[in-house]
Structure 1
Amino acid sequence: MAYDEELAHRIRSIVRDEPGLTERRMFGGLAFLVHGNLAVSASGRGGLLLRVDPADTPALVQRPEATRFQMRGRELRGWLHIDADGLATTRQLRSWVSRGIGYARSLPAK
């Protein structure tokens, strides 16, 4: 499955002024990186791939649209998948994207 280009456009409109922002095709989707750290991605599985503080994961996965991201059957700490249903409004998308951007900013540049 290809990533949702409309979702990528919506993400881009939110992050366009972020210093150090780059885009890269990764994991079958289109990733948005801040100083080399993945923040958020229009996932090739649909919805959003999001990087968050691992300490926040238990609380975030209580939300119905959020699940722990799995790669090759293994859950990755600090990575979430957000279903498209949880991204329907700009406010919902902005909330998730801002969380990913904020965490990526907190990491050392690559």
Structure 2
Amino acid sequence: MAYSEYVVDRVRYRLKGAGVLEEKKMMGGYLFMVNGKMCIGVDMDKSTQQDRLMVRVGKLNYEELLEKEGSRKMDFTGRPMRGFLFIYPEGFDAEEDLDFWVEKALEFNKLLT
């Protein structure tokens, strides 16, 4: 398995009541769609074996959020995907940090509906 069920459960708990929730195994990870839009996911960095979040935050606050602890550009192909971030464990292990990232993903998701 290329993602942590424990991290998936932590994210799932926070998304309850956020809208129409779909869950999909995709891109070697686990994605949560809210109201039909990709919102947040969980996968594992194959080079470091670390769990990480994949967070869709949009372009507006992208540079600012990139400065947060554990945050890195989302890059699967050699080209970063602006508006999407990888968050490594130092940025989401604490409950309040995970709350922060889920809220950022939901804030952007609301702009898409």
1:33-60 deviation digits (Å, cap 9, x = unpaired):
1121111001232210000021211111
1:85 equivalent in structure 2: 90
1:52-101 deviation digits (Å, cap 9, x = unpaired):
02121111111231011002111001000000111111111011011101
Q: Distance in 2 between matches of 1:64 and 1:90?
A: 14
Structure 1: which amino acid aligns with 2:26? Answer: M
Gaps of 5+ in 2: 46-50
Is residue 21 of structure 2 the alignment partner of residue 21 of structure 1?
Answer: yes
Instruction: Note if contact 1:27-1:44 (Cα within 8 Å) is conserved in structure 2.
Output: no
Instruction: Note if contact 1:69-1:76 (Cα within 8 Å) is conserved in structure 2.
Output: yes
- Secondary structure of the 1:54 match is coil
Q: Distance in 1 between matches of 2:23 and 2:111?
A: 18
Moved over 6 A (4+): none
* Percent of aligned pairs with the same amino acid: 27
Alignment TM-score, normalising by the size of structure 1: 0.91
Instruction: Note if contact 2:8-2:30 (Cα within 8 Å) is conserved in structure 1.
Output: yes
Q: Give 1:1-110 correspondences, 5 Å limit.
A: 2-45=2-45, 46-108=51-113
Q: Distance in 2 between matches of 1:64 and 1:86?
A: 5
How many residues are matched?
108
CA-based RMSD: 1.3
Q: Distance in 2 between matches of 1:7 and 1:47?
A: 9
Where relative contact order (Cα < 8 A, 6+ residues apart) is larger, the structure is: 1
